[in-house]
């Protein structure tokens, strides 16, 4: 019987996940356990709509102008800008820290005024025009203003080319960001309430939102009466069940495990509408469990041999069943890599042969046709050149198999049996690939001949490779002022949604924006504060 590969939250946290993912917009720690049979264990935390509708025994009441639920980039921006303009802002955060995912990311799609038009048109086209162009323009046209505003609080930025796109990079170190956020709140008088989980929105007889009920860690309920409530809770990617129901599968969560959808549940409970594209997720690049476990035995480069292989265009990528599913050169484009991976399933196999490893050991990736550096976050990439020999690669891959992060077989069928693939299907796919290598023409997926590296004879290895889901994208319908709308597209007075919760306006079926989520988070928070000031 084939052994299942099991991955826990501990496997992902601190591994090839957090820093790696930051090159797009978000990069975090891990969530739910996954296995190589495509079935996911349920998240240990789940949002429940009954929590958003049941009665609570209120122990305390607090009055404020605006209650912001969630202390990530969007929530803090909203609270700080509202407070500096004289509003009494209370920031509710379910954890003991503030900053959320923005404590581990660095790329933001900031655009100068003269660049906005082109950027909006490109963004809209990338989403096949199934987006709200006015919402995209609203974010980008204010992005430079917002990020310049952040600099007055001590944030540092520089321009950086991230996968072919010039973005603003946060230079402020990761460890200083929570401190800087706290200073921003202290300077403007924001009232931060940590370890408070919002559960239910309060409405009046007209259906307008007049407050929010939150529970402390010891289940004491406080009602925060407010002129406006802003939902900035970061989506539901940490809720395995919700992702599975909305998306049809539940890939490895590369986001914050506490983001389980309570904010959306509260909005839905009072009539907030799900968007047309509800269920969209933010897949981004690749997670290879092998490298984290190998790190205890090898230096950084050796431990990341399987990780590099998973990003290289010269190795066959197959589904869990053993079918080849893409042109592996798509790995040079993070969006193409992530979306093609997410489309075919929760994980795939990267196939490497002993013959190829022997070549790598002497001459590096260049000898297998790789002619440009792999598309890996500079934070996560090991130090290597294309012609750097992979010393002891065979030993490392054997250790990977021993650790349970991949499989080995003497031929195609034996590898397929070990990994749970269909032996006939995989053998056929490998034979077709070898034929493409010999003819220099890939009739199956159209890969450039320079990346067609023959497998030869000898042992074969399958690396367990999974797609990361950084966050859910949206979940409630909003307008360009970030008012939450009902099913008739009428605004629910007093209720707003920002950050990840409002991404449904900006993307259609797939996330395609490098740095778009972070710029949306800061900018939407700032703009909601402006809306509240003018209300």
Q: Give domain 63-280+473-534's CATH number out of 3.50.50.60, 2.40.37.10, 3.40.50.300, 3.40.30.10.
A: 3.50.50.60
Domain residue spans of the chain: 63-280+473-534, 286-468
What values do phi and psi take at 513, rounded to 5? -110, 115
Q: How far apart are CA 119 and CA 364, in angstroms?
A: 38
Among 63-72, 160-169, 397-406, 436-445, which is the least confidently predicted range? Answer: 160-169
Among 36-45, 122-131, 151-160, 521-530, which is the least confidently predicted range? Answer: 36-45
446 burial via Cβ count (<10 Å: 0-12, 13-18, 19+): exposed
Task: Give the pLDDT score at 164.
Answer: 62
For every residue of 346-406, DSSP letters joined together read SEEEEEEEHHHHHHHHHH-GGGGT--S-----TTTPPS--TT---TTHHHHHHHHHHHTSE
Q: How far apart are CA 386 and CA 376, in angstroms?
A: 14
CA dihedral 147, 148, 153, 155 (to 10 degrees): 60
What is the separation of C-alpha 221 from the centre of its chain, rounded to a whole number of angstroms? Answer: 32
Closest CA to 21 of 188, 185, 251, 215: 251
Tell me the two tokens of residue 427: 């053998």
Q: How far apart are CA 500 and CA 280, in angstroms?
A: 11
Q: Give residue for tokens 């889901």.
A: 469
Closest CA to 190 of 304, 45, 71: 71
3-state secondary structure of 46: coil
Convert the pLDDT of each residue in 285-298 to its tens digit. Answer: 788 999 999 999 99
Q: How far apart are CA 529 and CA 272, in angstroms?
A: 21
- Whether 286-468 and 63-280+473-534 are alike in CATH topology: the answer is no
Q: Which residue has the higher pLDDT, 37 or 383?
A: 383
Residue 484 has pLDDT above 60, yes or no: yes
Q: How far apart are CA 339 and CA 195, in angstroms?
A: 35
Convert the pLDDT of each residue in 423-477 to its tens digit. Answer: 999 999 999 999 999 999 999 999 999 999 999 989 999 999 988 888 999 999 9
How does residue 45 score in pLDDT terms, banded at 50, 70 and 90? Answer: low
Over residues 322-328, the mean pLDDT reads: 97
CATH class of 286-468: alpha beta
How does residue 163 score in pLDDT terms, banded at 50, 70 and 90? Answer: low
Convert the pLDDT of each residue in 200-258 to its tens digit. Answer: 999 999 999 999 999 999 999 999 999 999 999 999 999 999 999 998 887 788 889 99
């Amino acid at each position: 019987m084939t052994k299942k590969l099991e991955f826990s939250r501990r496997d992902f946290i601190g591994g090839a996940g957090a820093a790696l993912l930051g090159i797009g917009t978000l990069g975090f720690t891990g969530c739910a356990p996954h296995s190589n049979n495509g079935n996911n264990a349920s998240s240990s935390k789940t949002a429940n709509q009954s929590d958003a509708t049941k009665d609570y025994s209120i122990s305390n009441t607090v009055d404020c102008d605006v209650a912001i639920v969630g202390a990530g980039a969007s929530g803090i921006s909203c609270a700080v800008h509202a407070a500096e303009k004289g509003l009494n802002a209370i920031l509710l955060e379910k954890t003991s820290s503030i900053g959320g995912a923005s404590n581990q990311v660095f790329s933001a799609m900031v655009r100068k005024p003269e660049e906005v038009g082109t950027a909006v048109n490109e963004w809209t086209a990338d989403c096949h025009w199934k987006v709200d162009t006015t919402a995209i323009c609203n974010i980008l046209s204010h992005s430079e203003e917002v990020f310049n505003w952040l600099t007055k609080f001590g944030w540092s930025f520089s321009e950086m080319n991230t996968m072919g796109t010039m973005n603003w990079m946060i230079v402020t170190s990761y460890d200083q960001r929570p401190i800087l956020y706290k200073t921003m709140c202290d300077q403007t008088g924001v009232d931060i309430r940590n370890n408070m989980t919002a559960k239910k929105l309060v409405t009046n007889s007209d259906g307008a939102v007049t407050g929010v009920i939150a529970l402390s860690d010891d289940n004491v309920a406080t009602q925060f009466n407010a002129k406006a409530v802003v939902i900035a809770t970061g989506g539901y990617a940490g809720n395995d069940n919700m992702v599975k129901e909305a998306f049809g599968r539940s890939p490895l969560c590369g986001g914050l495990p506490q983001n389980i959808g309570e904010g959306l549940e509260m909005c839905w409970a009072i009539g907030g509408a799900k968007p047309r594209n509800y269920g969209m997720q933010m897949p981004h690049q690749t997670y290879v469990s092998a490298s984290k476990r190998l790190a205890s035995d090898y230096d950084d480069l050796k431990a990341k041999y399987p990780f590099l292989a998973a990003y290289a265009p010269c190795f066959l990528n197959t589904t869990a069943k053993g079918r080849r599913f893409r042109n592996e050169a798509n790995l040079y484009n993070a969006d193409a890599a992530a979306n093609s991976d997410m489309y075919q399933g929760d994980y795939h196999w990267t196939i490497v042969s002993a013959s190829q490893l022997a070549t790598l050991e002497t001459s590096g990736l260049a000898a297998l046709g790789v002619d440009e550096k792999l598309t890996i976050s500079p934070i996560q990439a090991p130090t290597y050149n294309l012609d750097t020999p992979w010393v002891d690669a065979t030993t490392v891959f054997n250790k990977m198999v021993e650790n349970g992060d991949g499989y080995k077989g003497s031929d195609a069928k034996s590898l397929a049996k070990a990994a749970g693939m269909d032996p006939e299907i995989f053998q056929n796919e490998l034979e077709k690939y070898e034929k493409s290598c010999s003819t220099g023409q890939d009739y199956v997926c159209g890969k450039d001949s320079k990346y067609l590296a023959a497998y030869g004879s000898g042992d074969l290895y399958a690396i367990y490779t999974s797609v990361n889901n950084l966050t859910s994208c949206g979940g409630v319908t909003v307008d360009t002022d970030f008012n939450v709308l009902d099913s008739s597209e009428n605004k629910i007075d007093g209720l707003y949604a920002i950050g990840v919760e409002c991404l449904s306006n900006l993307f259609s079926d797939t996330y395609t924006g490098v740095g778009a989520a972070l710029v949306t988070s800061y900018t939407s928070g700032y703009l909601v504060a402006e809306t509240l000031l003018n209300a």
